[in-house]
Amino acid sequence: MKQPGVVSDDFKRVESHDCPMPTCAAPAGSPCRTGKGKVAVQYHTARFRLVPRLAKTLSVPTPGVRKPGSAWTELPRPVCADADPVGHVRLGYARASTARQSLDVQLDSLSEAGVTRIFSEKISTRAAKRPELEAAVKLAGEIRSSGVAVTLVVHEHKRLGRGIELAMLTEELKASGVGPEFLTGELKGSHDPSGIVFTVLAAMSGTEREHIRDRTLEGHESARKRGKTVGGAGVTDEDMLSTALHLRDQEMSLRDIAKRLVITAGTKKGQHPSPATVMRMLREHDEKVATAASS
């Protein structure tokens, strides 16, 4: 729980000063550190009391963006708060979920938006680490610390993430003074990640998959009640369809989904279905669900 009197960006005010504690001596722009070289969970009293509005505060916690408890490293010194940005750099980021998907549309739109450098990768949004995105965010922070305004431009917010993941990333950008901009989609435009509209829309986008899945299951049940069979034919069955739907929700390619499935009956028992069979099974399922739901 946040301590009364401490606001979300107070850490920036604290970090505008070098830490006067001899055992810490963290330079401006970096969080306080422990004697064991870890990021401290809160700033040293002697440091945050250099900020007049925090002089009587009991403690100022280190925000999550600084990763308390992790190995301490020196960060770029902050730009003087009174200094206006000199110049403006627009960095771009593009992402596709699978190797089979094309990045051409994203890359073209970023180029047309005046982006000077584009980071791109083909990796699922569920991946724990996205190297190119991390590199883009790091470079954006370094450029901003030199006094240049920076905008991270993305074709659509879903390329960055969904829900709380997206909110956390934009908070990290905010901590570095970097503004996100989306060229299309429901969050089109430039946004202040601390704004209530952005937060609500990001949270809504995080439930999109859940809504789609719920509608699919409702349609499936509706089809069953009408005596209609939902699923593929031939080598496919209900268990295979259920597994395929689950893997599709994880943004796996048809080829990868096919490798996870096993035919359980017939002359091809024990073999994997072809990607074309998986595509046909999923397409027929979607068509039957849509028909049952509208009838």
Under 8 Å between Cβ of 109 and 183: yes
pLDDT (0 to 100) of residue 37: 93
pLDDT (0 to 100) of residue 93: 97
pLDDT (0 to 100) of residue 41: 94
pLDDT (0 to 100) of residue 194: 58
Chunked into runs of 10 residues, the chain (295 residues) has average pLDDT values of: 59 88 91 94 92 84 90 80 68 91 93 93 83 91 82 91 72 79 88 63 54 57 58 65 82 82 82 84 78 62
**Domains of the chain, start order:** 1-78 (no CATH), 88-206 (3.40.50.1390), 209-294 (no CATH)
pTM over 0.75: no
Helices (H), 88-207: 104-112, 131-145, 163-175, 196-206
Residues counted in the chain: 295
- Whole-angstrom distance, CA of residue 65 vs CA of residue 194: 14
- Whole-angstrom distance, CA of residue 276 vs CA of residue 76: 51
Answer left, alpha or beta for residue 234, where phi above 0 means left and psi between -120 and 50 means alpha. Answer: left
Tens-digit pLDDT profile for residues 72-91: 999 887 765 445 566 889 99
Vertex 239: Cα angle to 233 and 242 (nearest 5): 95
- Whole-angstrom distance, CA of residue 39 vs CA of residue 57: 20
Tokens representing 17 are 């000063």
- Whole-angstrom distance, CA of residue 104 vs CA of residue 184: 15
- Residue 176 bears catalytic tag: no
Radius of gyration of the chain (CA): 25
One of 8, 16, 59, 97 is an active-site residue; which one? 97
Q: Give 290-294's long-range contacts (Cβ < 8 A, gap of 24+).
A: 290/219, 292/219, 292/220, 292/222, 292/223, 292/226, 292/228, 292/230, 293/215, 293/218, 293/219, 293/222
Which residue's structure tokens are 């990333």?
169
Greatest alpha-carbon span in the chain: 79
- Rounded to the nearest 10 degrees, how much is the dihedral formed by the CA atoms of 70, 73, 79, 85? -80
